[in-house]
Structure 1
Amino acid sequence: MDPIREHIDVSTRRHFFGRVGGLSLGSAALVDMLAKAGVGADAAKPAGLGGGSTGGLPGLPHFAPKAKRAIYLHMNGGPSQMDLLDYKPKMADWYDKDLPESIRQGQRLTTMTSGQSRFPIAPSKYKFAQHGKSGMWVSELLPHTAKIVDEIALIKTTWTEAINHDPAVTYICTGNQLPGRASLGSWLSYGLGAMNENLPAFVVMTASWSSKTDAQALYNRLWSAGFLPSKYQGVALRSTGDPVLFLSNPSGVDKSVRRRTLDAINRLNHKEYESFADPETQARIAQYEMAFRMQMSVPELADISNEPKHILDLYGPDVHRPGSFARCALLARRLAERDVRFVQIFHRGWDQHGNMAGDLPGQCKDVDQATHALVTDLKQRGMLDDTLVVWGGEFGRTVYCQGALSRENYGRDHHPKCFPVWFAGGGVKKGVVHGETDEFSYNVVKDPVHIHDLNATILHVMGIDHRRLTYKFQGLDMRLTGVEEQNPVKAILA
């Protein structure tokens, strides 16, 4: 439909009488009453239309937060827990023996291994050692992470119902396996608002990977606002060209012209809002203004040339490569330093179905030093006390081999029933391990943690009762953690 005709057709008979009748008179009366009460005109404006507000809901946080910002490091594809953080030495005696049916218990399998005649156990070929005062077991593939175990609260027993990548990563990011829900970062932005007027409250980066030629796709719905107003969606930083699309002015347009253009557009958007009260109009106004301010703040953020050499060395040589996990981790610290509420880094390529020995070491090398550097960097700046860092994937891997088995190499299928996630920083205990899996790293035998519990814990650390953070949509009070009874993992909370 022609946009002009569509706009005209919206002005129905009921809409016309509503505007000239009681609704308009009521609005005028409200403004008059506020003025007489000494409340400024800006105070009567809807949120996002002025007054310098950073947003957020009244009454939030619900209680004193332990962290005011969070950085989520998502290893997309499913890191192999028994090769990294869930040490199972007894499996050496089970090499090439079939996984007992008493352990599998008829659990759902993917089509990639459900047709196998055998399920031969593949013990990890990597050495483990205990580290730190906590004595936490860590694989030789993560030597730098091993140095920060006394800062970490490791949950070994996270589980999910999803068994394939797309629904699993959608589930852990948005609280539902089906697309269309609001992401964790959007919920935090909606509930707590922004702390920096010149940068988005929620920033996303997709790091490149070096060890694989292919990887699972990522979709912007993973950082979408879903049913929340679109101004709460994550803003993706790019590694090439403008860090944010269309950040630079077109040729022949300088800053003053851009400002006058935005002012004219905002006047039209205000008129639109006065006519229809569509909250998406507010979102457009806020996004235009944010984009204008980001023209100055984002280039300065992305320029790491003034970082000291010892800091660049801490993150490793990959920090000089745009788009690397190391560069993203450094940018995450710079974003946290500028009080961006939530930063999420996706690192793809952790889906090792047939070349564990070839791919897994490279994946670990991509992220290990930079992860250690991020936690160390935050700590030495005094920022770890009020910054939460989370590391994990969307599910784990099977102890049995997918396809042919050899001692030199093996593959592993998806396994949703247990996988590790660790927390560090504000609000969590240091050097603790929560939960236990069986000797096959196949079932949880103590303290299961559902991914809803995981998200409830993140919200709790940020001062939010997950049961009270809701949004009315299609007649339902939607929330990130679903309708089941979920609880923060109090055993890891400081």
Structure 2
Amino acid sequence: MPRFPDLPIVDGLSRRQVLKSAGTGFGLLALAGMLGEGAGRALAADAAAPGPLAPKVPHFPTKAKRIIFLFMNGAMSQMDTFDYKPQLQKDDGKVGPGGGALTASKFKFAQHGETGTWVSELYPNVARHVDKLCFIRGLHTDTPAHPEAVIQLHTGAALASLTRPSLGAWLMYGLGTENQDVPGYVTINPPANFGGAVNYGSAFLPAHFQGTRISDVGYLPNIKAHAASPLQRRQIDLVQAMNRDLGAAPGAPDQLDGVIASYELAFKMQGKVPELLDISKEPPAVLDAYGVKPGPAGSFARQCLMARRLNEAGVRFVEIAQPGWDHHTNLHNGLINNARATDQSTAALLADLERRGLLEETLVLFGSEFGRQPTSQGADGRDHNITGYPMWLAGAGVKKGFSYGATDEYGLNAVEGRMHTNDLHATLLALMGLDHTRLTYRYAGRDFRLTDVAGEVVTDVFA
């Protein structure tokens, strides 16, 4: 390996310290993004050549260009929020079809909009937007355990031992990203449990397709401390000089040209991303509309506003999360608290996207990994239910004020328009212009896809 005796030490920093400092921030993300197959020397030799994250032509024309996923982590109770069941209200206390006492919702429902869609009093702000929502009411999945169900919702496979790329990673692989100065896939406050990094990982896809994890305070701490400083520019220049000398040596790895380019991309990201995520620059009226406030109570509102800003910057896939929906106990107060945290900001996000013309090319997805039972669990709770539950969509490519599928009279089983998680994924990909049967990646001797060997596109929800 070549030596570098003539290279200066920057401000008393050793070479080890320089390498460590220059790799902070989004450096690892950018490095992964430039080291994919085909990057190599051609990337540095021709700066105009498309990189692995460059925008790609979809399989067929589509309106949707980006997705924002509002994930209600823990399984929202559908019969208390968006799936009104009059018979459940009438039969309160009777024995349910699977045993146990049927438990009516404690919350009042009313019809809203020209469609007369029933929505719980928990979501008065979202209720004002029902005429632009597309409800998928007959969903079902495979396992009633949170870890497996959350992983399946995000990756298509229910077991962490069968690690698969996440939905966002597949979208990046199939479509690339619109803005090369910011990450194309961002997850804000992802759950640390229930799969953790598997839910936004790239698995066997190249690492540059994985999600970038941030918090609702805006950005990673080391980004704020080191972003685009003159000292870091000098450090990167030094490292670049080292890499160029190493790359000129006989037998140097091809990826070094990608390394050189990756640091430049990292430097650009560190200059753009903190500013992009600084929601304090938004007008007071916008902050008030989202319900932004300090502390944990304002977390979801901050995420929603950040999601809009990321979406506007061209980020392909943004996921935000609200934890705490696992109401085996404290159902009544828990629902009040979670709905209060998510109702205003969700409605504000829809209104803001529409006002800015972004909803015409953005698909918004809202929901949980599964639903809950119509029977009681203890004094004030509901158990898991994987056989019938809803989610809703809004925006590009879907019908407005529409419901597809249904559960039975108690909300226990999907009986019409049944959609498995694989079908949901196939439909989402199709809305983004991708044929799920053609979006494959060869690994370990076989072609893999998000939907594995299943999945049917539900065109009935298409506008």
The structure 1 residue matched to 2:62, chosen from 61, 65, 73, is 65
The alpha-carbon distance between structure 1 residues 282 and 391, as it changes in their structure 2 partners (threshold 3 A), is farther
2:293 counterpart SS class: helix
CA RMSD of aligned residues (A): 3.0
1:168 counterpart SS class: helix
- The equivalent of 2:200 in structure 1 is 223
- The equivalent of 1:175 in structure 2 is 156
- The equivalent of 2:74 in structure 1 is 77
Alignment of 1:292-371 (within 5 A): 292-318=267-293, 324-371=299-346
**AA at the equivalent of 2:175:** L
Q: 1:323 offset after TM fit, Å?
A: 6.6
**AA at the equivalent of 2:209:** Y
- Mapped contact 2:201–2:210 kept (Cα < 8 A): yes
Do residues 249 (structure 1) and 246 (structure 2) align?
Answer: no
- Mapped contact 1:49–1:285 kept (Cα < 8 A): no
1:399 counterpart SS class: coil
Do residues 188 (structure 1) and 157 (structure 2) align?
Answer: no
- Mapped contact 1:230–1:283 kept (Cα < 8 A): no
- Mapped contact 2:41–2:257 kept (Cα < 8 A): no
Alignment of 1:479-494 (within 5 A): 479-484=449-454, 486-494=455-463
- The equivalent of 1:5 in structure 2 is none
Summarize deviations over 1:346-369 as a string: whole Å, max 9, x none: 211110001101111111111111
Do residues 197 (structure 1) and 180 (structure 2) align?
Answer: yes
**AA at the equivalent of 1:202:** Y
1:454 counterpart SS class: helix
Identity among equivalent positions (%) equals: 42
Between 253-262 and 281-290, the greater mean CA deviation after superposition: 281-290
The alpha-carbon distance between structure 1 residues 338 and 492, as it changes in their structure 2 partners (threshold 3 A), is same
Do residues 439 (structure 1) and 409 (structure 2) align?
Answer: yes
Q: 1:164 offset after TM fit, Å?
A: 0.5
Alignment of 1:33-112 (within 5 A): 45=42, 50-51=47-48, 53-55=50-52, 60-100=57-97, 104=98
The structure 1 residue matched to 2:347, chosen from 361, 372, 389, is 372
Q: 1:245 offset after TM fit, Å?
A: 4.6
- The equivalent of 2:375 in structure 1 is 400
Q: 1:306 offset after TM fit, Å?
A: 2.4
If the length of structure 1 is used for normalisation, what is the TM-score?
0.79
The alpha-carbon distance between structure 1 residues 203 and 273, as it changes in their structure 2 partners (threshold 3 A), is farther
- The equivalent of 1:141 in structure 2 is 122
Summarize deviations over 1:427-460 as a string: whole Å, max 9, x none: 1110001111101111111110111111111111
2:148 counterpart SS class: helix
The alpha-carbon distance between structure 1 residues 434 and 462, as it changes in their structure 2 partners (threshold 3 A), is same
Matches of 2:249 and 2:175, distance apart in 1:
27
- Mapped contact 1:231–1:287 kept (Cα < 8 A): no
Which of these two proteins has the greater Rg computed from alpha carbons? Answer: 1
The structure 2 residue matched to 1:237, chosen from 198, 214, 220, is 214
- Mapped contact 1:156–1:434 kept (Cα < 8 A): yes
- The equivalent of 1:115 in structure 2 is none
Q: 1:47 offset after TM fit, Å?
A: 9.8
The count of corresponding residues between Structure 1 and Structure 2 is 423
- Mapped contact 2:56–2:176 kept (Cα < 8 A): no
The alpha-carbon distance between structure 1 residues 187 and 299, as it changes in their structure 2 partners (threshold 3 A), is same
Matches of 2:202 and 2:212, distance apart in 1:
11
If the length of structure 2 is used for normalisation, what is the TM-score?
0.84
1:400 counterpart SS class: coil
Summarize deviations over 1:241-285 as a string: whole Å, max 9, x none: 85365563399971322331452465488679975667xx78866
Gaps of 5+ in 2: 1-38
The alpha-carbon distance between structure 1 residues 194 and 244, as it changes in their structure 2 partners (threshold 3 A), is farther
2:137 counterpart SS class: strand
Matches of 1:267 and 1:483, distance apart in 2:
46
**AA at the equivalent of 2:445:** G
Matches of 1:64 and 1:191, distance apart in 2:
14
Matches of 1:304 and 1:73, distance apart in 2:
19
The structure 2 residue matched to 1:151, chosen from 132, 140, 146, is 132
Q: 1:65 offset after TM fit, Å?
A: 2.0
Alignment of 1:405-484 (within 5 A): 410-484=380-454
- Mapped contact 1:302–1:331 kept (Cα < 8 A): yes
Q: 1:294 offset after TM fit, Å?
A: 1.8
Q: 1:120 offset after TM fit, Å?
A: 1.2
- Mapped contact 1:207–1:348 kept (Cα < 8 A): no
Between 152-161 and 298-307, the greater mean CA deviation after superposition: 298-307
Matches of 1:276 and 1:323, distance apart in 2:
48
Summarize deviations over 1:21-49 as a string: whole Å, max 9, x none: xxxxxxxxxxxxxxxxxxxxx99826998
Matches of 1:402 and 1:452, distance apart in 2:
29
Matches of 2:280 and 2:54, distance apart in 1:
38
